Amino acid sequence: MLFPTGFGSSDTDMDLYFEDQWSWLYSIGAMTVMVIIWHNILITNTPLAEHFQLLILLLAYLVFLVFNIRNKATHIVFLGLQLAGWIIYLVIEESVL
C-alpha cells in the first residue's frame, strides 16, 4: 500500500503505515537527492564541493536506511530538522528567490 487510503468504516493506522513504508519513502528521498547532485554536476557544471548540504542530507538518508533505524521519535526529529534546514536555506540563500 503506497498511498494510505481508507473508507469511512476502515481508516488506515498512520503509525503502522509509516512503520511499514518508511524505508521505501526514504529510498525515494535519497534517490531524489542523488539525481539533483548529478544534474547539478553534469549539466550545470557545479563542483561537488558546493553541494555539501545535499551530501549531508543524502548521508542522513543512508544512515537511516543502512542501519535500519525504526525509532519513531528519531524519524520525527530528522524530518523536523530537514524541514527547518530547508526553510532556513530559503531565507538565507539569495539566489533561490
Q: What is the pLDDT of residues 43-93, one digit of tens each?
A: 999 998 999 989 999 999 999 999 999 999 999 999 999 999 989 988 998
Contact 78, 64 (CB under 8 A): yes
pLDDT at 1 over 70: no
pLDDT of residue 10: 63
What is the residue whose three cell numbers read 488506515? 12
Residues in Cβ contact with 71 at an 8 Å cutoff, skipping those fewer than 6 apart: none
